[in-house]
């Protein structure tokens, strides 16, 4: 029985084995090593405790296990070098069972009973909102990685690493349509079908606006209840409307379910876009050929050139395979997660402090190098640049195609 590496208590270790530092260590690691000042590379002293919850069980567990892996990897990496401020890092993670009210209470436990030094965000918008409320109450910094509705992030010491930009419903659809405009035959008619799940619904409404503004024609607009099982009628209506582009406001498996239903009635949309699909199933399904989606990181250049990216990707691929995950590539979820750790790390290291006020001040004023690129937090709701890009399933893998600055070398948006 393969168990996931679930909780790691990293205690001070006296390393007797000789290690080499793997090539490509980021400048970040060097910065950490400076602090120790001793000949030994191992951190020492009382551990710095970082607390968070994750949906280790329940419906959100399917994606949350990526975040668990990432956290384990980061903590291991940091403890192999010089720890945080020379001290070992201990990550205390609790299972919020995919329930926001549990997440809220567990964060309170982490702060008031376990008395952790720092917080890390949980998985997904609902839990993050709950955690944010608690963080606000106790004036703790909350760096989080999977928050989908920037307009709801009202606490001034929360820092998002999912770089949606402050108004993604307005900005991202434009990014997509800009990408599509570069194809030989840009779409003129658009079908917008969406789940009513909060973090995708408002994006789809933004898409409707964009369609209007660009003078395109919306041929059908459908909304379904999150949890819908039967996509036959929806697929049939899309097929009937015969659009050039199908925008699917899908989250998780919904995209695959719709694709499945379309396949069953022999319909392949000319262009299709999915908001937040579960990456593994979407990349691996044969009928998902050329599917488009949003991303902030993929496993190719130029992303791989960012600090820490290459090493992380390699580690993640290994660990995911070892943990028995069917899909082992790094994409938005893992990247946002790793960035969150990098951000927290950078703030602590730069200020040499664990004081949340100090950390928040620093983050608001400074930029952090992450595997996504440089992140800043001085925009509305502490959101910085919109780093959302467009990726596409090409030959069973996700490949970024737009904007050109982050597209994989030589990659273009493929149409039928």
Partner 1 sequence: MNRVYAALAIAGALLAAVPLLGLPLFYESFCYLVFHWIVLATSWNILSGYSGYFSFGHGAFFGAGMYTTATLASRFDVPFLWTLPAAALVAVLLGLALGAVVFRVRGVRGELFALVTLAFTFVVGTIILNTRIDGGPGIYLSAVPIPKIGPSPASTFYLLGLAAALATLAIAYGIYRSRLGVGLFAIHDDEDVAEVLGVPTFRCKMVAFGVSCGLAAIAGGIHALFISYVTAGDTFTITVPLTVVLMSVLGGTRHWAGPAVGATIITALLYAFTAGDHAIAGKAVFGGVLIAVILFMPQGVLGTLVARRRKRRASAVPVPAADAMMETRPPREARPIGPERILVAHGIRKAFRGVRALERVDIDVREGEILGLVGPNGSGKSTFVNLVSGHYRPDGGELVFAGEDIAHHDAHWIARAGVARTYQIPRPFEHLTVLDNVAVPAMFGAAHLDRDAALREARRWLEFTGLADKAEWLPEDLNLHQRKFLELARALASRPRLLLLDEVLSGLTPTEIDGAIRLIRRIRDEGATIVFVEHVMRAVWALTDRIVVLDHGQVIAEGTAEEVMGRSDVVTAFLGKAHA
Partner 2 sequence: MGLPSLSLIAQSVLSGVFIGALYGLLGLGLSLSWGLLRQINLAHFALAFLAAYLCYQLSTVGGIDPLLTLVVIVPGFFALGVAMQWLFARFEITAFNSLLVTFGLTVIVESLIQSIWTADFRRLESTYGNAKFKLGFLYIPAPELLTLVLSLSLAFSMWAALRYTDIGKALRAAAEDGPIATAFGVNRQALALLLSGACAALAGVAGVCIALSYTLAPAQIYGWIGVVFAAVMMGGLGRPLGPIVAGIVIGVSESVTMALTSPSWAPLVSFSLLIVVLLVRPSRV
Q: Residues 186, 198, 270, 379: which binds partner 1 (CB under 8 A)?
A: 198
318 Cβ partners below 8 Å, 6+ apart?
Answer: none
Q: Is 272 helix (H, G, I), strand (E, B) or coil?
A: strand
222: left (phi over 0), alpha (psi -120 to 50) or beta: beta
202 binds, among partner 1, partner 2, none (CB under 5 to 8 A by kind): partner 1
Q: Residues 236, 350, 354, 414: which binds partner 2 (CB under 8 A)?
A: 236
* Beta strands at 397-402 and 389-394: parallel, antiparallel or unpaired: antiparallel
Residues 70-99 that bind partner 1 (CB under 8 A): 92-97
Residue 1 CB, nearest approach to partner 2 (Å): 6
294 sits in which H/E element = strand 292-295
Q: Residues 237, 289, 314, 397: which binds partner 2 (CB under 8 A)?
A: 237
Residue 224 CB, nearest approach to partner 2 (Å): 4
Cβ–Cβ under 8 Å, residues 100 and 109:
no
Give CA–CA dist 343/144, Å, rounded: 10
- Encoded one letter per residue, x for contact with partner 2 by CB under 8 A and - for no contact, window 212-231 reads ----------xxxx-xxxxx
- Of the ranges 118-126, 139-147, 255-263, 403-411, which one interacts with partner 2 (CB under 8 A)? 255-263
The residue among 31 and 152 lying less far from partner 1, judged by its C-beta, is 152
Give CA–CA dist 350/83, Å, rounded: 14
Give CA–CA dist 99/413, Å, rounded: 39
> Which tokens in the block code for residue 45?
């002293």
Q: Does 337 bind partner 2 (CB under 8 A)?
A: no
Q: Does 261 bind partner 2 (CB under 8 A)?
A: yes
Give CA–CA dist 321/122, Å, rounded: 23
Give CA–CA dist 37/45, Å, rounded: 14
250 sits in which H/E element = strand 245-252
Residue 65 CB, nearest approach to partner 1 (Å): 11
Length of the chain: 416
Q: Does 179 bind partner 1 (CB under 8 A)?
A: no
Q: Is 302 helix (H, G, I), strand (E, B) or coil?
A: coil
The residue among 6 and 21 lying less far from partner 1, judged by its C-beta, is 6
Interface residues toward partner 2, by CB under 8 A: 1-4, 57-62, 64-65, 98, 196, 222-225, 227-234, 236-237, 240, 253, 256-257, 260-261, 263-266, 278, 280-281, 284-286, 323-327
Interface residues toward partner 1, by CB under 8 A: 6-7, 53-54, 56-57, 92-97, 100-102, 104-106, 108-109, 111-113, 126, 129-130, 132-133, 137, 149, 152, 154, 196-198, 201-202, 223, 225-227
């Amino acid at each position: 029985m393969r168990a996931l590496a679930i909780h790691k208590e990293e205690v001070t270790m006296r390393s007797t084995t000789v290690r080499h530092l793997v090539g490509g260590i980021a400048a970040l690691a060097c910065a950490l090593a400076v602090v120790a000042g001793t000949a030994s590379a191992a951190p020492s002293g009382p551990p710095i405790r970082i607390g968070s919850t994750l949906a280790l069980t329940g419906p959100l567990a399917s994606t949350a296990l990526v975040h668990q892996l990432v956290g384990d990897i980061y903590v291991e990496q940091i403890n192999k070098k010089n720890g945080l401020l020379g001290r070992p890092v201990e990550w205390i993670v609790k299972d919020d069972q995919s329930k926001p009210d549990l997440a809220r209470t567990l964060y309170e436990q982490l702060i008031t009973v376990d008395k952790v030094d720092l917080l890390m965000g949980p998985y997904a918008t609902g839990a993050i909102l709950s955690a944010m409320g608690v963080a606000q109450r106790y004036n703790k910094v909350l760096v989080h990685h999977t928050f989908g509705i920037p307009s709801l992030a009202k606490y001034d010491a929360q820092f998002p690493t999912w770089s949606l930009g402050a108004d993604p419903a307005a900005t991202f659809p434009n990014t997509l349509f800009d990408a599509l405009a570069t194809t030989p035959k840009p779409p003129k008619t658009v079908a917008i079908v969406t789940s009513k799940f909060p973090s995708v619904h408002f994006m789809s409404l933004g898409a409707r606006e964009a369609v209007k503004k660009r003078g395109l024609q919306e041929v059908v607009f459908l909304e379904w209840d999150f949890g819908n099982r039967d996509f036959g009628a929806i697929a049939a209506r899309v097929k009937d409307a015969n659009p050039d582009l199908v925008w699917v406001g899908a989250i998780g498996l919904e995209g695959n379910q719709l694709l499945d239903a379309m396949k069953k009635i022999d319909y392949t949309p000319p262009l299709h876009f999915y908001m937040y699909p579960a990456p593994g199933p979407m990349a691996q399904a044969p009928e998902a050929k050329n599917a488009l989606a949003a991303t902030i990181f993929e496993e190719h250049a130029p992303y791989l050139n960012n600090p820490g990216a290459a090493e992380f990707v390699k580690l993640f691929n290994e660990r995911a395979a070892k943990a028995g995950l069917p899909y082992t590539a790094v994409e938005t979820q893992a990247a946002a997660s790793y960035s969150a750790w990098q951000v927290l790390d950078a703030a602590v290291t730069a200020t040499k402090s664990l004081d949340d006020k100090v950390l928040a001040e620093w983050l608001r004023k400074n930029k952090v190098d992450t595997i996504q690129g440089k992140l800043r937090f001085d925009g509305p709701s502490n959101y910085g640049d919109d780093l959302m890009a467009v990726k596409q399933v090409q030959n069973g893998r996700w490949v970024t195609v737009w904007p050109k600055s982050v597209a994989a070398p030589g990659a273009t948006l493929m149409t039928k």
